[in-house]
Amino acid sequence: MPIKYFLLSVLLFFFIVQSNAQYKRRGETLQTRGNKSAKSKKSDYTIAQFKGKWQEFQRKNRTDSSDVPFNDSIQLKFLDSNKVQTRTSVVTSMTLDGEAEMGDNNLLTVAADEYTVKSLTNNLMVLDDNEKFIHTLKKVDTFWYETLGKLSVKQDEFITPITVGINSILGKWSVYRRRAKPGATDDNALLIKYLNIQAKANEHTAAGDITFYQGQSSQQFPCTVTLNGTDIKIVAGKNTWNLSVYQADANNFVFGNSSLLYFSKPTTGN
């Protein structure tokens, strides 16, 4: 009899373990083995499509799509041979080297983190961390920390223009401050307030729209933006701005000339 009860207990134990076997990875919902409704879907993307540098510029709450303020902007650098470097914009952040893998159901593994890829274009990537947030990243030419030790004092003071690629200025920018020398502006000056640069034509040109003030009136027009070395040319109808670029990264876009400088930040709308 004791042997019989022992064998019965063993069978009952294995039955409970089998029926309750579950697993969970970050980026996946809790699943039960044998659940036929949770079918895997082949990924829509390949790792090769992610190659380059990506900087987070927008974060939303995944439950209600509300904007979330943040200062730990995600930075991803996809290299050859499925290698990836991850870090945040926090000054004390360390770069983490790891593997990049594109799995079923658009599950992207980057080093120690996993995300679901919601969308991917040549310049924008939207990632769901499947926990709290939706992260939107844009492709950039240079991360801010890569310029440390290379910028002169004059560049820090926005005296010397810099050369950037069109990817670095894509997005919606809101001018929050202007620095003008005496006499640089008057009632007839066309002062830029917003730049929305979205449709990239090539490595030097993109289209979008511009909002500017002239006196007390505000106007918005479609525009074309062209980069030529350190120069930026904005054409909107009969109006043209010939300026220079002094800073362009995920958090700041500074442009203008020696008489008038525009300081702008990313924004989600006008």
Same-domain status, 161 and 234? yes
Of 124, 140, 156, the last residue of a domain is 140
The pTM assigned to this predicted structure is: 0.48
Residue 207 contacts residue 199 (beta carbons within 8 Å): yes
* 139 alpha-carbon distance from chain centroid: 7
In a domain, residue 2? The reply is no
Count other Cβ atoms within 10 Å, centred on residue 154.
Answer: 9
Q: What are the structure tokens assigned to 167, written together?
A: 């990817």
Of 140, 160, 181, the last residue of a domain is 140
Residue 118 contacts residue 108 (beta carbons within 8 Å): no
Residue with tokens 């640069």, as numbered in its chain: 197
- Please tell me the total count of domains within the chain: 2
The pLDDT tens digits along the chain (270 residues) read 555 555 555 555 554 444 444 433 343 433 333 343 457 889 999 999 999 999 998 999 999 999 888 878 899 999 988 899 998 877 667 888 889 999 999 999 998 799 999 999 989 999 999 999 999 999 988 887 776 655 444 445 788 899 988 999 999 999 988 888 887 787 788 999 999 998 899 989 999 999 998 877 889 999 999 999 999 999 999 999 999 999 998 889 999 998 899 999 998 654
Give CA torsion, residues 246, 249, 250, 255, to 10 deg.
20
Of 85, 107, 140, the last residue of a domain is 140
Residue-wise over 52-71: b if at least 16 C-beta within 10 A, else e? bbbbbbbbbebeeeeeeeee
Domain span at 216: 148-266
Residue 108 contacts residue 129 (beta carbons within 8 Å): no
Same-domain status, 202 and 240? yes
